[in-house]
Chain A
Amino acid sequence: MDMSQILVALLAAPLAAALAMAALPSKSVPRTAFVALHVASLAAVCAAGTMLVVSVFTGLEVYALGEWFHVDRLAALFVALIAVIGTCTGVYSIPYVRHDVEEGRLDPSQVKQYYAFFSLFLFSMLLTVASNNIIMMWVSVELTTLSTVFLVGVYGTKLALEAAWKYIIVCTAGVAFGLFGTLLVYANAADIMADAHQAVFWTAILPYAGQMDHGLMMIAFVFAAIGFGTKAGLFPMHTWLPDAHSEAPSPVSGLLSGVLLKCAILVVLRFFILASLCVGPAFPQVVMMILGVLSVCYAALMVYRQSDVKRKLAYSSCENVGLIAVCFGIGGPIGIAAGLIHCIGHGLVKSLMFCLSGNVMMKYGTRDLGVIRGVVRVAPVTGALLAAGCLAIAGFPPFALFVSEMGFVLGGVAAGQVAVVVIVVAALVVVIMAFAHVITGSVLGEAPAGVERGDVSPLALAPEVVLLALIVWMGVAMPGPLAASIGDATGIVLQQDMQDFAHDGWFVEISGVFAGGAEGVRS
């Protein structure tokens, strides 16, 4: 089967669904029609995404529309994330939206808006990770903002609109910095390449990166890190994140936090690779390290002091994205691999947690952790999942984040960054305390009077169970093809063959942690 066509289909399906929904009148068309189109969009993304990812994981590199779109093993990890989390949060959206309609929070036009922009959001994220054209990469990151602003503000309340405004103004301004960085890279490449038209393609620029002007590349990387780092939620450009994540519908919060932030990280990584080839890895690593450590330390304190469950989770996203940046700042095969594993692990865990926060809001009608008590007594399955999710987000074994956080510690020590490791681990202890408090204070304890007993619908619970299963699977025995792909993606970031790492004693030791001792290094 021609994977180029599958890639085009993967991009076209959610866009077509979004346009079809936009064209339908919300007043005369029943909600079920929008749900049907939404399900069709999810099914197409899941099926085409799976086929594409399997092909790339087995060694194929896919191009489409000439060189405009390109999925290598690095991008495939993020396509997989979009397909899995997009499907899970998409399925969860159906009972969640139904509940909001029953509660009178959404009218038919808002339901149409929700489903249409959900598909457009999936399209924009897929476009971001599949773009080989660096200008298109920027346009697609901008499109993710434009497609989600109406999802953040879908409830139309003052607070929702305030969050939506902060989101769009901070992100469009931030991403404008990313545009400047992109243009500097393009101009730099066009100056040395024989065909200026090729200078827009990341894969075409790559062989020339070493010849680019160092000063210009350093400025470009700083602009890209600030610009796309804004979208990733890195401190101090994170200000939109807690507001947007807390005011958006819970499935959208899960998709924003679980996937969108990682798409922005991928774009930063693309520039990180170019900058490393041009000026050496030290400069981009220092930039990432500074942004990462500041994000982790600030966000850890904010996670602890929040009493709003969704704001707590939002700051936790800032903290985890910071940790990913620190991993890339540490560099080397272990640091980069740990960062990539954390991207996947955090995506799964955070989308699970935001969906669970949606369950809790459906039962308690509030986000205030002071009021939310005894979840396990009110809704036993939700309570058990929430307890497991809190342990997972805190980095306990046997969950996925334990693997990446161990990788971070070992990679940091191997790289001689002991002080950074100590500071970040201290911040992570604060996060553990914060989520332990959620378990003791909200999952356990006496349920308040007046809260109806019984769990949310099976359709809401099913995607959460799937997400938790994946988190445990990644933590206990990472699938061999995934581990191998993470290894190859690490090689792409470092622009080295994976065979080179087979002689790195530390990496050989630690790859056992990553891959369950089986497939980590194909040596």
Chain B
Amino acid sequence: MLDFSLVNVLGACLIITSMAVVLARTGRVSAQLYALQSAVLVALLVALGAVTGSTELYMWSVSAFVTKVLLVPGILLFTLRKVGDSAEVDLAPKLSPMKCVGLVAVEVFVCFVAVSGIDLPTAAAVKPTLAVALAHFFIGLTCIVIQRSIFKQIFGYCLMENGSHVALALLAPQAPELVEVGIATDAIFAVIILAVMVCRIARTTHTLDADDLAELKG
């Protein structure tokens, strides 16, 4: 029997997979793990659809599968192929894995505290997952800040976008499909343009190291 506890378990899986995306050593593995995380997101949407009886969520899960499990990882893997040997992609992050895990733990805790103050009937049963959705913003931000490779910084944005998607599904499961399509389409365009910029930078400067791209200061 499906209930909200399954949704919350899948929410916990989202945190684990997002940590894996951030900590992966290579861009290729990060892209594959992001596809895995998106698959968890799709499962969460299906579970939530079954629990709430919202048919819109089934439609969302289909579009999320196409855009997040297939398209975005595909675009990112294609970008890796385009960059090729012109620049080093797999640069180690600025923070050690242990420190990174500690930072994320603090972020998740703070988000749980923040969400505990919310009094919204639709969110009452899924507060842990709502906290996870909120935490994805800070995990995404952490990814952008700690990654030296600008290619890997793209995953930070993708994680933040997944957080929004989960929050929308939790708080407004009856939202029109158009809302979800608008957000997903915009995210795809953003990832494409980020990928184009990475290719241009690699071709022009032969580096994807954020530290090398820090001449503009002051």
Contacts and interface: CB of A to CB of B under 8 A. Distances in A.
Interface stretch (B29-37, B67-75, B160-168): B160-168
Interface string A238-263: 00001100110000000000000000
A275 B160 CA distance: 24
B160 to A, nearest CB: 4
A100 to B, nearest CB: 18
A186 B175 contact: yes
Contacts of A157: 204
A20 interface: no
B218 A306 contact: yes
Contacts of A184: 167, 171
B121 A162 contact: no
Interface in B177-202: 179, 182-183, 186, 189-190, 193-194, 197, 200-201
B104 interface: no
A162 to B, nearest CB: 4
Nearest to B207: A158
Contact of A177 (B114, B137, B183, B189): B137
B172 interface: yes
Interface stretch (B43-51, B85-93, B150-158): B150-158
Contact of B117 (A179, A188, A215): A215
B2 interface: no
Interface string A332-362: 0000000000000000000000000000000
Interface in A150-186: 153, 156-159, 161-166, 168-169, 172-173, 176-177, 179-180, 183-184, 186
A183 B164 contact: yes
Interface stretch (A43-51, A138-146, A420-428, A479-487): A138-146
Contacts of B141: 173
Given A135-B183, A196-B175, A146 B167 contact: no
Contacts, number: 141
Contact of A213 (B120, B197, B218): B120
Contacts of A158: 204-205, 213, 215
B194 A168 contact: yes
A190 B172 contact: yes
Nearest to A161: B201
B168 A183 contact: yes
A27 interface: no
A414 interface: no
Interface string B44-68: 0000000000000000000000000
Contact of B114 (A172, A200, A219, A305): A219
A158 B134 CA distance: 35
A142 B168 contact: no
Contacts of B170: 187
Contacts of A242: 216
A446 interface: no
Given A161-B197, A168-B194, A180-B134, A191 B216 contact: no
Given A156-B204, A196-B175, A162 B153 contact: no
Contacts of B215: 158-159, 162
B194 A172 contact: yes
A290 interface: no
Given A187-B122, A213-B119, A179 B164 contact: yes
B174 interface: yes
A136 interface: yes
Interface of A: 135-136, 138-139, 142-143, 146, 149, 153, 156-159, 161-166, 168-169, 172-173, 176-177, 179-180, 183-184, 186-188, 190-191, 196-197, 199-200, 213, 215-216, 219, 242-243, 246-247, 302, 305-306, 311
Given A135-B182, A186-B179, 15 more contacts: A146-B189, A146-B193, A161-B197, A162-B216, A164-B197, A177-B137, A177-B160, A180-B134, A180-B167, A187-B123, A187-B170, A196-B176, A200-B175, A213-B118, A215-B119
23 contacts: A135-B179, A135-B183, A146-B190, A165-B150, A166-B213, A166-B216, A168-B194, A169-B144, A169-B153, A169-B194, A176-B137, A179-B164, A180-B163, A183-B167, A186-B168, A187-B122, A187-B170, A190-B171, A191-B121, A196-B174, A215-B118, A219-B118, A311-B218
